Chain A
Amino acid sequence: MRLTCANESSTMREKSTTNSYVLDSLDLLISRLNVVIVFFSTIAVAAAGCILSWEATARYLFKIPSDWQDEVTIFLLVGTTFLSCAWVQQSRGHIGIQALSSVLGPRANAARILLGDLMSFLFCAFFSWKSWTLLLEAIEDHQISGSAFGAPLWIPYSSMAIGTSLLSLVLFAQILNALLRPSASHTRIPAP
């Protein structure tokens, strides 16, 4: 009997180590992807500022009409928003109403957070699926924007699809963390 218990305990320890390894690898993968995304998002925001500054200067000083600037700025900033949303979620930066957190006990709070993550995951996964469908349609139909510039719409749609997929992955990892190693799940993962 004692031997069986020892075996079970050892199996559980091995399972726990495997879980930890898988979760750590997943967190590391997400963190590395986010570092790359944050780097490009930073460049995109700075580029958007430069483009709009150029638009005003060129029109006023050199009488150059603006045609592509607004469209490109929209693509850059919408792209930045969707691509960075996983990174923001990784550090739980998307704000929510926390009025119940001080009322509920630790276990009830953990269950509340887990439920919130689960619902967020379901929504984001659905949104991600619809973003990929939208992207594929835009590529197949050669969709372009309605402006005179007529930029291809697969550009912003791809950022939505990739960004929300990564967001779903982050939420999935947070749910797994909460289920498989509850003690560590509330610690904030350092953002890049």
Chain B
Amino acid sequence: MKYNRSLYIHLSKYFVFIFSITLLVSCADLDQDFAEERYHTASHATAISDAGGTQGLTALDGAILSYLRDGETGGDDEFGLKAVELGMDLRSNDMDISRNTWFGAYSNYENIGLTYNDNDFIWEFFYKVINNANGIINTISDDAPEEVLVFKYKSHTYRAIAYFYLVRIYQHTRANDSEEAIPIDFGDFVGQPKSTVGEVKKLILDDLTLAYNGLENYSRSSKEEIDASVVAAYLARYHLTYENWSEAEKFADIAMNVGSISSDVLHGFDELSLPEVIWGAVVTPATSTVYNSFFSHISQINDGYSGWNHFKTVNSNLYDMIPATDKRLAWFADQEYPPGTILVPGTWGHYNITPKYTSLKFIAQPGPGEFIGDYIYLRNTEFYLTKAEALAKQGKDGEAQQVLFDLNTVRDPSYVKSTKTGQDLIDEILLYRRIELWGDGVASFDMARNGIGLNRKDGRLNLVMPGADLVIPPLDDKMIYQIPQREVDANSNFDE
């Protein structure tokens, strides 16, 4: 085919010229798409909530529950609420650790300083719970349908729990209501000044009361969820701590009547199905945080930290006070055992020795190298003891003796109902509190509310970490944590 070449070139030149002008003004698509997300965007979340239903709220609520369980990943001692509880127990008179490793800084009171990771973790952990709860509370109006309001009440509970820990960790439990404590967050991402102890306490009580009333008719689908009995348990703890005995008695009664008491004490406290459990979290192979887990640190016969040689032991003086007929004696090794001994019936031999007084209370059952055990946050037996103490404090000694008897006869068939009265009865109740709730995260908080200091030079014979044989009076500065550096630095309301 013939054509005029020069014309072709000529035409094509102009064609290209026009073509290039067109290209010059062509545009790119700059908008983001839900198919192209690194994280779930707010606009995506809004699109979902606009579509109706409670899927978004369920997910937000589930995130708080799993965060309470898993915490952070910054170290092997940040596994959520149980990590805080284990750490706080290691600050008490009743639990020791044999070597200085993870959690050693709790035992020797080193991590109270403002630059320590543990301290930063505790602060961040609870404030993230608070902020996530505020995120839910602030988006649900009071006239929302009942199934939506349930999420709001649950969040009030999470928030109250978090503040309750914070106010007792960063300020003395017996501090005056007028003393400065910690900031109260409103969920608006603006740093706040410190509120007083009284203001924080009021917020906790208001939150728990609102939640209790709101959830009274709510029935939960599993023990992983919050319901009125969980709120009652925290109300009982709250009133016991701040010495409102009648209210403590009232709510302890509600909490203690959840489930029943198990006569088997050697199941390892690793299952939510245990009838004593009020509230907890399920841990599965998929959600196990491996070495950064409660059972890695406390279960002697699992191949974690405790089994290696960071043994968690009971204060031998406390051990010696457990009656010989009490089943709870089996929670602790009664002598040093060589490797390979089967210490807990139905389990396995461990490669290491087990020194006398080592804890055998908590065992994750799947096997030596796994740390898959459910986390128990609340057990009903605590509230038998709470109710008994509240009754005794009100002078209702007979009722108190009966409640204590109801618990102890399950643990010790030979237990004889106490005939003690007054302070002696209270002391007996408190002793059983130390025994029954050993390792459950309440020991150091009990010391604080009862005005008891630390004394590791009490002649104990169990293994104590070098450098942790401390004596600290109850209202010493070391008994509370300093507000972490990161908060002080970023919060313009704080003086340096």
The answer to whether A and B assemble together is no
Measuring CB to CB, which residues of chain B are less than 8 angstroms from any residue of chain A?
Answer: none
